[in-house]
Structure 1
Amino acid sequence: MVPKQDDIKESIDDVDDQSLQMAEKVAVHAESFLNKEFTGNFILSLAGHIQYLEEKYRDHVEIPEPFHYELKYLYPTEYRIAEWAVNYLQEEFNVEMPTAEVSFFTLHFVNGLVESGSVKNVVELSDILNETIEIIERETGEVMDRETISFSRFIIHLRYFVIRSLSSVQKKDTNENSDFKKIYDLTFEMYPQEKQIIKK
């Protein structure tokens, strides 16, 4: 839904000039870095967030960090520009911002892109990935090292599987291929514990 002009004016009035200035500088640099264009209300949305976090951190209110590792691997380019934005605001405007803000800014950039319809399920996707990792760790009794290349590759493979599952496009069942089915059955026979985890 396109916001009404009166609603936009009212929202602008609620945001201070400095927050708008900071959001605009971040947006200009981010668009250049990403080579993409943000939606029309992106700057206003980001400015509101900046103003909000300034007030909350000034009052020492702790804000949790969402989906940190998942976002880092799902949207590496947006994550990098989010890291820049947090450092820039801290250095240039002396804004106190914990590392959790990198995740929040990443979500802003992902959701603020013009073609963001393709990533409309970003939060749902992150939830699924996070819960999947929790199942694996609980069933194996081991904590996965989220800073390794192996974890990065696993998350990327898992991401495409989940996106395909969430998509309305249904692919032909590859189990119909007899050669693939033989490999599939043999693999599960060799790794019964992993088979049970996959089912869960």
Structure 2
Amino acid sequence: MNGKQCEIINVLNHNTLICKNDDGETYVFFGKGIGFKKKKGEKFINDDNVQDYMLVLEAKEALKYKELLNQVTNKRLIDVVQNIVYEANKEFDNKINAKLNLTLLDHLNFAMERQKNNIIINYPFLSELSYIYPKEYEFSKRAFNYINRELKDSIQFDKAELGFLVLHIHAAIKNMKVSNLLLNNTIVYDCTKLIEKETKTKIDYRSIYYTSFIKHLEYAIQRYKDGIRINNVLWESIKDKCDIEYIVAEKINNILKEKYNINLDENEIGYIALHIYKLRNRKININLGKG
């Protein structure tokens, strides 16, 4: 849409315009001050002179956003979410996906209705998120406090919402669906508890070894979904030197098969075993030489 002229069909506020192009497709533009003194029917050009932090919801998402606006009962929530998205975009070097305006507003609007009806959904991995996504967590803490401060006359969100806020921010940075990220975290939680049970080891969630394990497991799952195979030339040595860890890694794969329909090959299982060894022994390097 960059550089193309649109007709303004709704000025939502000083920072949001709903427009349509010559083909009749609807777009939502978010940017500080872009709606100031603008009127319905005027022309709007999305170009580099507008401002530094322009976010655009394209046709399909824009229509969903328009529908959502009619469903939001507390209109103040719209501005609150937009301000969070602007700040997130600056905080994370313009990497935020514009769909965060839609997904976060939808989530918080529904969360308000749940909480008013005393329906609380707990997020069991909140403490782990502070170690896995530290920057997103710190930003989300500030955003969480801002939300409760701005909406104090109508609602105060339970702390469980902080976890979901972290997920929305991270998903917007990585251009992922929140549902996929939530599934990955559930898988990580299951696998972590299995490792602790089978090895009688209390894992330090703050360690670089845990972060490394999580990242590898996520990448291994994504490689499986994408049909990508890797060659582990150290597989035999790992299986020999990390025999206990390899058995645990196989049990992890059994969980993945039974609960999530994911079946990793022996190359991936070998690398997971190596990460489990590092978790247990808090060592970066292991001698995998013969003999």
Tell me if structure 1 keeps the 8 A contact 2:81–2:101: yes
Larger radius of gyration: 2
TM-score of the superposition, structure 1-length normalised?
0.76
> What is the aligned partner in structure 2 of residue 85 from structure 1?
143
- Answer yes or no: is 1:12 the counterpart of 2:69: yes
CA distance in 1, matches of 2:62, 2:250: 51
Distance 1:93 1:111, change over 3 A: same
Structure 1 36/155 Cα, relative in aligned 2: closer, same or farther at 3 Å? Answer: farther
Q: Which amino acid aligns with 1:102?
A: L
With over 3 angstroms needed to count, the CA separation of the structure-2 counterparts of 1:137 and 1:162, relative to structure 1, is same
Bigger shift: 117-126 or 155-164? 117-126
Aligned letter for 2:71? Answer: D
State the alpha-carbon separation in 1 of the partners of residues 69 and 210 from structure 2.
Answer: 39
Amino acid at match of 1:90: N
SS of equivalent residue, structure 1 residue 174: coil
What does the per-residue CA deviation read over 1:121-156, in whole Å, with 9 as the maximum and x for residues that have no partner?
Answer: 42332122111112123224565454xx3xx32321
Contact 2:140 2:166 in 1 (8 A): yes
1:86: how far off? Answer: 0.6
- 1:187 aligned onto 2:241: yes
Q: Over residues 20-70 of structure 1, what are the superposed CA-to-partner deviations in whole Å (9 max), with x where a residue is unaligned?
A: 011111111111111224333322322222222222223322211153244
Cα distance in 2 between the residues matched to 1:119 and 1:18: 24
With a CA cutoff of 8 Å and minimum separation of 6, indicate the structure with the bigger relative contact order. Answer: 1
TM-score by length of structure 2 reads 0.55
- Residues matched between the structures, number: 187
Question: Are the aligned partners of 1:26 and 1:85 in contact in 2 as well (CA < 8 Å)?
Answer: yes
Q: Which moved more, 1:59-68 or 1:79-88?
A: 59-68
Residue segments in structure 1 that go unaligned for 5+ positions in a row: none
- The answer as to 2:206 corresponding to 1:155 is no
Query: Which has more helix, going by share of residues?
Result: 1
Identity of aligned residues (%): 20
- 1:112 aligns to 2:172 (yes or no): yes
CA RMSD of aligned residues (A): 3.0
